Amino acid sequence: MSISAPVVAEPSPVPVAGSYRRMASQFFANRLAVSGLVILAALLLFCFLGPLIHHTDQTHTNLAGANLSPGQGGHLLGTDDVGHDELGRLMIGGQTSLEIGIAAGLLATLIGTIWGAVSGYAGGWLDAIMMRIVDAGIAIPALFLLLVTATILRPTVPVQIVIIGCVSWLVPARLVRAEALSLRSRDYVQAMKAMGGGHRRAVFRHIIPNAIGTVVVNATFQVADAILLIAYVSFLGLGVAPPKTDWGGMLSKGISYTYDGYWWMIFPAGIAIVLVVCAFNSIGDGLRDSFEVRLQGR
């Protein structure tokens, strides 16, 4: 057989207009996801830039001006039971909630991703042990762990981030492990091993980057969960110490005045929590859809 067979030119596919651009256009076509993004951006601006415009004293109490209803004494959303301006309180409380929520969500995702990728890639007995640890962790209610640790340690922001991060990495670990199980047998991982590559390279260069869709989508849900979790803890009175506060803590305080009709202490914080959780969830949904589009090109 002659090997110089004439060859039909193989049409080379047109270079796709960057897959990231395709992904972005899919994301921005999703109205719910875009509104989530807008709400989140608005809340971030409100919490972090708001205090620059709306100056309030959030450290000293002013019992003379306590429990003012909205509009009284120039307080747009009234004041709370120790005289802090409710609007300003909403801003600094939101800072705490968002900081803890985002940092803890990312921490949980980081731990969970590495744990899951290593476990799924290793397989065998190591996988069995690592996953039993996850199972055991999931069996213990996260809220219970949080409450116990909050009574032992003084609940500052960094402490809360670490605690919440450490109780909520279990779900991402399971998700990433499932991906890693199928990714580790892919030919490119085999090829890399055949080139003499080690395990670390397999996990960090091949498995995690290819599981990134799952990781990113889950991270947004993790942040939403962490914000809710921190709200629970504060609501139960074990949040950051005054004069700092967060939305959960404000809600808790407001609830004690339900029968006095002080609605301005309840609704703003409650609505803020609902908004931010919904925003993160709809961003996550939008990201998931756009990652699917990105994968269609393969």
Binding mask 176-215 for another protein (x = CB under 8 A): ----------xxx-xxxxxxxxx--x---xx--xx-x---
Extract the tokens encoding 159.
């402490």
Q: How far apart are CA 194 and CA 154, in angstroms?
A: 51
- Least CB distance to another protein at residue 11 (A): 7
Region for 74 from its dihedrals, namely left if φ exceeds 0, alpha if ψ lies in -120 to 50, beta otherwise: left
Residue 42 vs 126, nearer CB to another protein: 126
Residue 42 vs 295, nearer CB to another protein: 295
> What does 63-83 look like in DSSP terms, one character per residue?
GGGTTPPTTGGG-TT-B-TT-
Which residues 13-32 are close enough to bind another protein by CB under 8 A?
Answer: 13, 15-16, 19
Binding mask 211-250 for another protein (x = CB under 8 A): -x--------------------------------------
- Least CB distance to another protein at residue 127 (A): 16
8 SS3 class: coil
Nearest to 164 by CA among 221, 103, 252: 103
Q: Quick check: 125 binds another protein (CB under 8 A)? A: no
Q: Quick check: 5 binds another protein (CB under 8 A)? A: yes
141 SS3 class: coil
Size of the site for another protein (CB under 8 A): 35
* Contact residue for another protein among 1, 52, 64, 152 (CB under 8 A): 1
In a 10 Å sphere around its CB, with 0-12 CB exposed, 13-18 middle and 19+ buried, how is residue 197 labelled? middle
Nearest to 134 by CA among 88, 171, 86, 184: 171
Q: Quick check: 3 binds another protein (CB under 8 A)? A: yes
The residues of the shown chain that bind another protein, judged by CB under 8 A, are 1-8, 10-13, 15-16, 19, 186-188, 190-198, 201, 205-206, 209-210, 212, 297-298
